[in-house]
Amino acid sequence: MLRNKKIVFTAHCVLNQNSVIKDWERSASSFKTIIDLITKEDISIIQLPCPELKHLGLNRPPLSKEDYDNLEYRQLCSQLSENIVEEVLVYKKENYRIIGLIGIEESPTCDTNGRKGIFMEELFKELSNKDLELRTFDIPEKFSENDKFSLENEFVNFLKGYSK
């Protein structure tokens, strides 16, 4: 059996920069550097849905967390979160190792560490309801495939399960 049973969840735009607000993308397709580091550690990637894309489409304007903080958007994020937590439980039941969750720093939706985004607030609430926790790592706001800076050691430590 070749399965290593290691999984990481990622914000949608880590794998698909085409979903980002026009002119805010930081790569032509995906964060290749991040993906390469994950696959080098033989970790499988599960892409989270993009609530902003589902809610307002590709041609949406830049909005703040306060703009997204409304009942309709929270309900969408909550519904998406329920599905994700069910998936986490399926893997946990079969003794898979969930490495954690990769978010996007300063995102009104997918920031996991700072001022948590709306989607992450709803996801962590649902995880907590099931007595689950996920470690997190946010891709820094200044990260770009064209202008790389040194996050490799910190990110690899996250992937290997080391704490800061």
* % of the chain with per-residue pLDDT over 90: 76
Strand (E) or helix (H) holding 8: strand 6-10
32, 114, 158, 5 alpha-carbon torsion, rounded to 10°: -80
State the burial class of residue 3 (Cβ atoms within 10 Å of its Cβ: 0-12, 13-18, 19+). Answer: exposed
User: Across the beta sheet with 136-139, what order do the strands follow?
Assistant: 44-47, 6-10, 97-104, 136-139
Q: What is the pLDDT of residues 118-141, one digit of tens each?
A: 999 999 999 999 999 999 999 998
Give residue 142's pLDDT.
82
Residue range 51-75, pLDDT digits in tens: 999 999 999 999 999 999 999 999 9
Domains and CATH numbers, the chain: 6-160 (3.40.50)
Q: CB–CB of 87/44 below 8 Å?
A: no
Read off the pTM.
Answer: 0.92
140-164: per-residue pLDDT in tens? 988 877 665 567 788 888 999 865 4
